[in-house]
A and B are shown apart, each in its own frame.
Chain A
Amino acid sequence: MTRANFALLILIVIVASLPLFGGAYALRVGTLACMYAIFALSWNVVGGFAGYPSFATAASFGLGAYVTGILLNNGVPLPAALAGTFIALFLGAVALGAVLLRLRGHYFAIASLSLVEVFRELINNATDLTGGGMGLNIPLASSSGILADAMFFFYAMWGLLVLTALVVIVVSVSKLGFGLSCIRQNETAANMVGLNTTLYKSIAFGLSACFVGTAGGLYAAWVHYIDPSDVFDILYSVKPIVMALMGGLGSPLGVVCGAFLYLGLEEVVWRNYIQIHSGVLGVLIIVLLLFLPHGLISLRWAMVWRKVKHA
């Protein structure tokens, strides 16, 4: 276990103490923070480890939300619904990945982006099953107090985050992770040395979808009402990429830090500059990409300190 991965786990444990600091609203933000971290970690598997720029996060999120929502509406208890979503999304993504990951670069990016559109419209039109444009109503899981409810969802999302982080860490030090790293560096060569690139890539794509989908399911249970344009929002695909870029592509600790940092910024900007908040996000992206292409984690704080001292 590298120091970075250890630090990641410590960070996650610290986050668990959030309820001590704030009330229901803080818990809401905390739940979102965990959700964003799950997105970033999951994206990192296919985008950072394997080097395939996937824009399909929103598709996994939306599908997960709807699968869980429909299951819950049919009386399936929450844990079973989430487990079902997890398996369904993993298998589905592996299958889809086998087809789509034959594309590279731009074409893969666009194909993954189109997935979001296709699934959104499919859900939109399956009115009898999903309510279509009228949205899906999910019953209140329990009528316990607000704080208890908020705590439940916070810890549920946090638990999912722990699971995601553990799996990602295990992948990063395993043969799968090593294979993905080879694929990222030179896929043709990896193929030639006998690596089953299709299998590895598909599994990576599957992993990038199952946790996000389960988070989507939790989200649906949390907000009680989802509709296609809300959960299949392209921004859910772009934000994890920005978080990963902010924190440092490829490094699990980096992307989680990026996720928390991004959420903090988003809350501050949205609270105070609501009219221009997407513009601010745009500026952030540009600054990041032009000046810090390897993310915060590449910043040498010692160098910055030295510069400041000599300024």
Chain B
Amino acid sequence: MFHPRFGCVSASLLLALASFAVPSPASAEDVIRFGAPLPITGPLAPEAAAQQMGYNLWAEEANKAGGINVGGKKYKVEIVYGDYQSNTPRSVQITEQMITQDNVNFMFGPFGSGAAKAASTISEKYKVPTIAASASSSQVYDQNYKYLFGTFTPNDTLTTPLTGIIKAKAPDVKKVAILARNDLFPLAIAQEMEKSAKANGFEVVYFEKYAINTLDHSATLSQIKSLAPQWIFVTGYINDLLLIRKQMTDQQMKAPVVTMIAGPAYQTFIETAGQSAENISSASWWHPAEQYDGKDIFGKTSNFVKLFKAKYNSDPDYAQASAAASGALFQMAIEKAGSLDRDKVRDALASLDVMTFWGPVKFGSNGQINSLEPPVFQIQNAKPVVLYPDAIKQGEFKLGVN
């Protein structure tokens, strides 16, 4: 009678042990490996695709030039991708796997503030310099980690100029309604918006969060409509914003100002929303119209845009640019440090104070960049038109969203 159980026990032990037998890949000689965990499948897949485009463009350009110069010797760039299926715990697991088993030298953070925050603990534990290409919420950087850097400035750098412009150009706007997705970045930026609105004398008549994966917003939108705000501010990711915009149209909601973050910067949003995207305002961390002259591998912003267009046949948006910028920043730091030693590269990143195609780059003591001046823009005639800062202004603010 002992046999079945013994068999069962040995079978399970064997299989469990089998999962440990993982062959470790032979590390190639003149290659620097960058780990890039991304939500290649799952609801955040469109965002992952954007990041991949940016990373790949940079890797290609770097390798075209022979590779990264490490103290006189050129090393090729290799990016190791992993799919964490838009599931945060998996992103943490993949990050650890990449560090311990795939022998990556440096890491790119996973997409978004939530996953970036979760995975940053791993890279901090293993002391691997990580650049988060898409994490803006200050909550990501409040753990006093030394090895985490981010290319997005804090959320209030978006909401402050936005509020300023609306106050100046649309003086009849008094009431604001805010609807936020209950998720790290969308909620954090909505909270910043509330602060900014109140500080500028607007009345916040509505502030609510909607659950992730909500399909029907009709009751919420009806309620917002009945409050008749002049400014409707909605946060979420591309899919949420498209859905909400459609349901707004269904309910025939009109307002002088409608702001959505973070979707309107993407070509997909403009194409899918069609006419209903007209006059929607937004803010982001970068715009192809910027005119920076950088010391990185891309140099001028216009050069980056040109190379991107040549490879992908479309204008780059800020997410794609940020990914490429993260790569370019690693390159600059490695070349400055002259070595692949993680601590040296980390110190080089922390001491960077340089102009790039992405903008002036200087990281604050918490690792988050604090030198950018994020543009505010509005969709006019199916194109994102920059309204601020003045240096690259392309047009004037237009009132009225139908």
Contact = CB atoms under 8 A, between A and B. Distances in A.
B121 A225 contact: yes
B83 interface: yes
A124 B210 CA distance: 10
Nearest to A24: B100
Contacts of B28: none
B7 A33 contact: no
Chain A: interface size category = 35 or more
Contacts of A28: 93, 96
B391 interface: no
A275 B187 contact: no
A121 B211 CA distance: 8
Given A7-B6, A146-B126, A267 B183 contact: no
B187 A301 contact: no
B4 A299 contact: yes
Given A133-B187, A134-B184, A230-B87, A4 B5 contact: yes
Contact of A271 (B4, B6, B22, B187): B22
A137 B117 contact: yes
Contacts of A23: 100
A257 B16 CA distance: 10
B7 A299 contact: yes
Contacts of B142: 137
Given A271-B22, A298-B4, A257 B121 contact: no
Given A253-B5, A301-B3, A134 B211 contact: no
A297 B8 contact: yes
B215 interface: no
A268 B13 CA distance: 14
Contacts of A223: 89, 92, 118, 121
B212 A301 contact: no
B120 to A, nearest CB: 9
B209 interface: yes
Nearest to B22: A271
Contact of B83 (A260, A274, A297, A302): A274
B182 A124 contact: yes
B1 interface: yes
Contacts of B187: 127, 132-134
The 6 A-B pairs with the shortest beta carbon distances in the complex, nearest first, are A133-B182, A264-B15, A267-B19, A261-B12, A260-B12, A225-B118
